[in-house]
């Protein structure tokens, strides 16, 4: 079995938030990462709880379809290291080892 390299690991915003910021996983954990991604112009709020990657964010995101109780939509997974690097570059996240 092949392991995914850290540079290629992709997670949904809630899981990115837990991994990067060390927050406990709750129903609102990913909100902060959604806002960061929006500030970075990597995604925009499409309304109705949908976040849409921008042209700038497309190379770091992958859409994944979901279906739950007759509803359907897409979630985006983000390259964790790309998000971490950009947040650090912008001073929005401490550097590793800091």
Token output for 11: 């997670």
**pLDDT tens, the chain, 98 aa long:** 568 887 888 988 888 877 777 767 776 678 888 998 999 999 999 988 889 999 999 999 999 888 999 988 888 999 999 998 898 898 877 666 54
What pLDDT, on the 0 to 100 scale, is given for residue 77?
94
CA-wise closest residue to 13 among 89, 87, 97? 87
What pLDDT, on the 0 to 100 scale, is given for residue 17?
78
- Please tell me the pTM assigned to this model: 0.79
What pLDDT, on the 0 to 100 scale, is given for residue 71?
87
What pLDDT, on the 0 to 100 scale, is given for residue 23?
66
């Amino acid at each position: 079995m092949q392991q995914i390299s850290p540079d290629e690991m992709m997670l949904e915003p809630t899981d990115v938030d837990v991994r990067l910021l060390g927050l406990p996983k709750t129903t609102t954990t990913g909100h902060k990462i959604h806002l960061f991604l929006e500030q970075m112009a990597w995604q925009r709020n499409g309304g109705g709880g949908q976040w849409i990657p921008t042209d700038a964010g497309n190379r770091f995101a992958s859409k994944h379809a979901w279906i739950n109780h007759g509803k359907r939509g897409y979630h985006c997974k983000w390259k964790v290291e790309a998000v971490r690097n950009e947040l650090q570059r912008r001073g929005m996240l401490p550097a590793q080892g800091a």
